[in-house]
Amino acid sequence: MNARGGRRWSWIAAAVVLVALLAWGVVIEPRWVAARVEPLSSPQWQAPAGLKVAVAGDWHLTERSAWRITSVERAARIVDDINAARPDVVLLPGDFLAGSGDDEALPIEDMAAVLGRLKAPQGVYAVLGNHDWWHDGQRTAKALTAQGIRVLENASVQLPGHDLWVVGIGDHSTGHSEPDKALAGVPKGAATLVMMHDPFSFATMPKTQGLVVASHTHGGQVRIPGYGALIVPGAAPRDWAYGWIAHKDKRMYVTSGLGVSILPVRFNMRPEWVMFQ
């Protein structure tokens, strides 16, 4: 084979690889949901025996599922999968709709009706994300509440039958984060399940005993091997994009979420919901 022929085959091979990567990142991985299992207890805290806590954030429901991925039907299947795993508690750390009030999003009440099918004997709890506030935060909270989902905006509530509190911290990126207010009602020394949308609130919240979870980042959606998340929204450091984060003797899990934002792309960062048990 001459040099010209070799270059031509090199270009063809490169084009094939590029097409395969695009197909993977646009068609396959954004729809390949992982159901992950993570430990609920830690060296600093022993969770109640057998307690299972499901976390599912960044749903980004839409009427344009070819672009934003999460249709009503897709969300319903994920709800069924979570229910089948029989969690005791479900935490929903925000961003339930795609977009910012434009015509690509579902009506807020339709979104709430889908998520209202989630079942957990100890309750389903939520905080609002930036997209929820951009649509209509008060209407979103009202719609979720009407479906039996307890919305905790800088508030806390005791888990039924346990000396364990669920705490919701407001979204930092839209100016709603008040960690001290969120934890004010928790008795001193009590264990907590803390959720927030934007993980940056973790930087300023008091140290707690229990689980802390956040979403918002989507894990960057694209994670480059050896580098990490390509882009991380908000004020959190880039290395807070995904997974277990340690900061000043505190520990938090940041989920990659279920939907997408800006572009319908994921690479090396599958969508997920997580069961802590």
d(C-alpha 191, C-alpha 46), whole Å: 9
With contact defined as beta carbons under 8 Å apart, do 129 and 171 qualify? yes
Range of the domain at 159: 32-276
| Residue 256 belongs to some domain of the structure | yes
Count of beta carbons in the 10 Å neighbourhood of residue 130: 23
| Residue 7 belongs to some domain of the structure | no
| Residue 266 belongs to some domain of the structure | yes
Count of beta carbons in the 10 Å neighbourhood of residue 186: 22
| Residue 107 belongs to some domain of the structure | yes
| Residue 268 belongs to some domain of the structure | yes
Query: Could you give the number of structural domains in the chain?
Result: 1
| Residue 27 belongs to some domain of the structure | no
Alpha helices of 24-106 — where are they, by DSSP H? 65-68, 72-84
Burial class from Cβ neighbours inside 10 Å (0-12, 13-18, 19+) for residue 62 reads buried
| Residue 15 belongs to some domain of the structure | no
From first to last of its 277 residues, the chain has per-residue pLDDT tens of 566 666 666 666 656 666 656 665 667 888 999 999 999 999 889 999 999 999 999 999 988 777 778 899 999 999 999 999 999 999 999 999 998 876 556 889 999 999 999 999 999 999 999 999 999 999 999 999 999 999 999 999 999 888 999 999 999 999 999 999 999 999 999 999 999 999 999 999 999 999 999 999 999 999 999 898 988 888 999 999 999 999 988 999 999 999 998 889 999 999 999 999 9
- The reported pTM is 0.93
- Give the CATH number, domain containing residue 259: 3.60.21.10
